[in-house]
Every structure is written in C-alpha cells, then in structure tokens.
C-alpha cells in the first residue's frame, strides 16, 4: 500500500489542479459575456486575470514555504476553501472593482496553494517515476481548459455568467476539499551512501538555493515562457469569435489546446527521461515561439484548432520540466520553497498577457500585435533556457529508493 499510495497523491494533484487553475483560466470564457452584460471593457475584465496571476505569484512562495513546514494537506484545504469563496463572491459582484478584488485577489491567491504544494508532494513520493508523476499533476492545468472551459460555456448558455461562476465555487468545495483529506507526507528519506550522486546543492538552505545561477536561469526562463503564452491562451476564445467562429466552437478550440497540453506534458516528460530535461525545455520553448508566430494566419475553425494543438502541446509540455529541474538540482526538503519561488516569478509573467492583450485589442482593434509581442518574448525564453546548466556533481549522498 505504501509503495502505491504515491499515485493517489498524483490523482488528487491532477484533479485539484484541474479545478483550481481551470477556474482561474476560465475567465477567458467569461470575458465576452461579462463585458456585454456589465458594460465593462475587455481590458477591465482582463485586469482581474492579471491581478489573479499576481496574487497567485505572491501566494506561490508563501504556500510553498507552508507546505514544506506543515505538509500539503493543510495548505490545500485552506486554499480550496478560499477558492470557492472567491468564485462565489466574484459571481455576485456589482462593480468592476469588486469583481477584480474577489476574482483576482481571492481566486488568484487560492490557486497558489494548489499547483506548487501538490507538485512538490508528488515529486517527494517518487524517484523512478518522478517525471511521469510530476507531468500528470501538471496535466491538471491542461485539463482545466479542457473541462472547466466548456463546462463554464454550457452553464453560461443555460443560465448566465453569475450562475455559472457560482456553480464553479460549489465544484471547488465539493471536490478539492475531500481530495485534500487524502494527502499524506512521503515516507522518510533513507540514507544510502553508495546509491546515487547528487548536486552540491544538496545541503543548501532555501536562502542559499535562491541565490544560485540555476535558480535565476530557471526563474527567468519560466517568467518569459509564461509571459509569451498567457496572452494567446487567455484571448484564444475571443480571437476565434472575432474571426467568425461560433462561441461554442471557439471554446472547442480552447479545449483542444488544453487537451494537447495534457499529451504534451506526458510526451515531453517521457522524452526528458531519455534525453534530459534541459534539452526538452529548450526545444519545447522554441516550438512555443513558432506556434505563436502562426496565429495571425489562422482564421477559421480548422486552422485555429490545428494551431491550438501545436500551441497547447508546446506550452503544456514545458510546464512540468521546470519542476523536474528544480527537483534535480535541489534537495526535496526545500523544493516547496524553491519551486514556489520559480512559480512566483513565472506567474508574474502570466499576469502580463491577459491585460496586455486586452489593452492592445482596445487600442488597435485586433490581436495581431499581441502575437508579435508574445512571439518575441517566446524567443527570449529560448535564449534564457539555453543558459541553464546543472551544478557540479561532486557530492555523494543517499537517496531513498523509489516508493512507487
């Protein structure tokens, strides 16, 4: 039972991440209905996503530190409760400021309690199957677009945006909170001096780790990666509708990207086991920049769906690679803090795209300049990722054997 329980942790992580991150990303589906019903600008509504990602960023490192200290169960229970409260309060907002505060602040901060602690928890349970375990938890982010996006669209069409968002609150409470009760800490690490060689960072404190060039390169690459893809993801539905695609078909395009992201995470994780995570990171980021550059040329359902698959596979595939490199370079006892800091930096990047895309649309009447800027940032992400280097391997310490 102990050897297989790690997969329960992975399942909880995957489902919780799907609901949490999916709820935040679903604002792209709510964008037009809210703007039309409330008379708010796209930039104004998009600002809630920017605030959400900033709050998620600030929360990521704090929740990560708490997960290192108290474990994932307490953190996810707290965050799941806050997530439902934020969605419920946002659904009843009568002013743009209140909506930005409840959705951006409440939902965004709550999401920081889900991805980082659950990725850290999954990584701590595995040695041999770590790439797949981390990829599956990260896949919940892609499933969020595939599941929560269409669900939101169906609820909006059947009722209205307020009822749809309130329903997501009950989904969060009803699934994340019971799932959090299943979380357990991994078995205690066993020391076996001849088993493996790990990095000189093994005995570092979290503060020392945050001053290493490995952390700086990973954080900056993740920032640029997320700054590049956040705008195209968030405005994907609106762009498709503006191209003449029906609202439901536009959500299908959005779902295709999420589903491709799921496949990309598993595929890239498997390739990383064979050729190394660093090489996969650089290749995946190059694929992401290329796919973004093609968006201005996609104007119908078929071309948008095909491009969404390529784009989703690239941005989804690289996401778990950062966690794998953090776990490879740093000790498990500080992974929550270090990965939380990497994710915090990345989420600041995620905050740029939604509001920048909304502003560029309002300013120029289209999304072409969003894709030009996003592609340029994506190229910068490739250049930064190419500088990532592992620390010197000169310290022999034990690692516990695989428990799953």
Q: What is the C-alpha to C-alpha distance for residues 29 and 57, in angstroms, rounded to an integer?
A: 22
Contact between residue 30 and residue 150 where contact means Cβ atoms under 8 Å apart:
no
For residue 152, which of 253, 85, 15, 248 has the smallest C-alpha distance? Answer: 248
State pLDDT tens for residues 247-279. 778 878 887 887 888 788 888 878 887 888 889
State pLDDT tens for residues 279-307. 999 999 999 999 999 999 998 899 999 99
pLDDT at 393: 53
Task: Measure Cα distances from 284 to 256, 272, 289, 318 in Å.
Answer: 18, 11, 9, 6
Domains of the chain are 6-185+204-391 (1.20.1250.20)
pLDDT at 392: 65
Q: What is the C-alpha to C-alpha distance for residues 288 and 314, in angstroms, rounded to an integer?
A: 5
Give residues with Cβ within 8 angstroms of 36, minimum separation 6: none
Q: Which helix (H) or strand (E) element contains residue 209?
A: helix 206-209
**Any idea what the Cα angle at residue 382 is, between residues 376 and 384, rounded to 5°?**
105
pLDDT at 332: 73
Residues of the chain with pLDDT under 70: 1-3, 142, 145, 188-203, 392-404
Task: Measure Cα distances from 8 to 2, 122, 143, 180 in Å.
Answer: 11, 9, 18, 11
For residue 202, which of 336, 65, 332 has the smallest C-alpha distance? Answer: 332
HSE-CB of 192 using CA atoms within 13 angstroms: 10
For residue 115, which of 352, 353, 339 has the smallest C-alpha distance? Answer: 339
pLDDT at 397: 40
pLDDT at 310: 94
pLDDT at 403: 42
Three-state SS letters, 84-120 = HHHHHHHHCCCCHHHHHHHHHHHHHHHHCCCHHHHHH
pLDDT at 191: 39
């Amino acid at each position: 039972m102990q050897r297989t329980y790690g997969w329960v942790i992975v399942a909880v992580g995957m489902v919780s991440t799907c609901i949490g991150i999916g709820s935040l990303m679903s604002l792209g589906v709510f964008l037009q209905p809210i703007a039309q019903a409330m008379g708010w600008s796209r930039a104004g509504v998009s600002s809630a996503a920017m605030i959400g990602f900033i709050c998620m960023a600030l929360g990521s490192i704090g929740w990560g530190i708490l997960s290192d200290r108290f474990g994932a169960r307490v953190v996810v229970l707290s965050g799941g409760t806050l997530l439902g409260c934020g969605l419920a309060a946002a659904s009843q907002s009568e002013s743009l400021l209140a909506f930005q505060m409840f959705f951006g602040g409440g939902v965004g901060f709550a999401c920081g309690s889900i991805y980082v602690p659950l990725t850290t928890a999954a990584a701590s349970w595995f040695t041999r199957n770590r790439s797949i375990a981390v990829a599956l938890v990260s896949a919940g982010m892609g499933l969020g677009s595939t599941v929560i996006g269409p669900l939101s669209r169906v609820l909006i069409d059947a009722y209205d945006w307020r009822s749809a968002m309130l329903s997501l609150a009950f989904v969060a409470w009803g699934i994340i909170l019971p799932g959090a009760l299943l979380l357990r800490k991994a078995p205690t690490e066993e020391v076996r001096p001849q088993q493996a060689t790990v990095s000189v960072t093994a005995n570092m404190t979290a503060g020392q780790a945050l001053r290493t060039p490995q952390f700086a390169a990973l954080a900056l690459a993740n920032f640029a990666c997320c700054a590049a893809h956040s705008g195209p993801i968030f405005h994907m539905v609106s762009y498709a509708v503006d191209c003449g695609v029906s609202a439901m078909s536009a959500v299908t395009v959005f779902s295709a990207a999420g589903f491709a992201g799921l496949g990309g995470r598993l595929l890239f994780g498997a390739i990383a086991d064979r050729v190394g995570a660093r090489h996969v990171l650089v290749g995946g980021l190059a694929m992401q920049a290329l796919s973004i550059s093609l968006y201005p040329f996609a104007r119908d359902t078929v071309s948008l769906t095909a491009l969404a698959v390529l784009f989703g596979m690239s941005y989804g595939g690289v996401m778990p690679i950062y966690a794998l490199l953090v776990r490879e370079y740093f000790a498990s006892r500080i992974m929550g803090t270090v990965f939380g800091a990497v994710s915090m930096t990345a989420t600041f990047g995620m905050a740029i795209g939604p509001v920048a895309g909304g502003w560029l649309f309002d300013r120029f009447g289209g999304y072409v300049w969003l894709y030009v800027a996003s592609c340029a940032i994506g190229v910068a992400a490739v250049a930064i990722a190419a500088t990532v280097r592992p620390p010197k391997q000169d310290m022999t310490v034990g690692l516990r054997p695989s428990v799953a």
